[in-house]
């Protein structure tokens, strides 16, 4: 059974922790082009569906995303069972696993996203 039945990202501003949203995706800046991409988690927390801003119909499933962290460093993440494996510049020998992703969002602000279960009232 999957860890989450209805996952959401809780996206929290790193500069203003009271600024939080719940969403099915993160909007992150890529390190290879600087473009804004969106990533949703699919396959019970084992893959990403990501797409360029405004082009969901052209999106694709992938095992990695390339993103810029809050301090401007390029990182790569894979995901397995809702756990990220992050590595700077894709260098897996310097990577680590956790359940939080810190990224630069569409408006250039530093955010972090963590998983939560969505419950209908």
C-alpha 77: how far from chain center: 8
Give a yes or no: residue 1 inside a domain.
no
Q: What domain count does the chain have?
A: 1
20 within some domain: yes
Cite the beta strand spans of the chain per DSSP E: 7-13, 20-23, 25-29, 36-42, 47-52, 60-62, 64-68, 74-80, 83-88, 96-98, 100-104, 110-117
Please check whether residue 27 lies inside any domain of the structure. yes
The model's pLDDT over 37-74, given as tens digits with 9 standing for 90+, comes to 999 999 999 999 999 988 999 999 999 999 999 888 99
Is 15 among the domain residues?
Answer: yes
In a domain, 101, yes or no: yes
Domain of 14, in residue numbers = 7-117
Please give the pLDDT value at position 39.
95
């Amino acid at each position: 059974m999957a860890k989450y039945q209805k996952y959401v990202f809780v996206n929290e501003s790193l500069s203003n922790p009271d600024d939080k949203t719940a969403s099915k995706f993160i909007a992150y800046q890529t390190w290879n082009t600087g473009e804004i991409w969106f990533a949703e988690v699919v396959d019970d927390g084992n893959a990403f569906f990501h797409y360029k801003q405004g082009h969901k119909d052209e999106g694709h499933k992938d095992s990695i995303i390339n993103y810029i962290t809050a301090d401007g460093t390029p990182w790569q993440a894979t995901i397995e069972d809702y756990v990220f494996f992050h590595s700077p510049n894709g260098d897996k020998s310097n990577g680590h696993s956790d359940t939080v992703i810190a990224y630069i969002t569409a408006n250039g602000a530093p955010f972090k996203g963590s998983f939560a279960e969505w419950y209908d009232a």
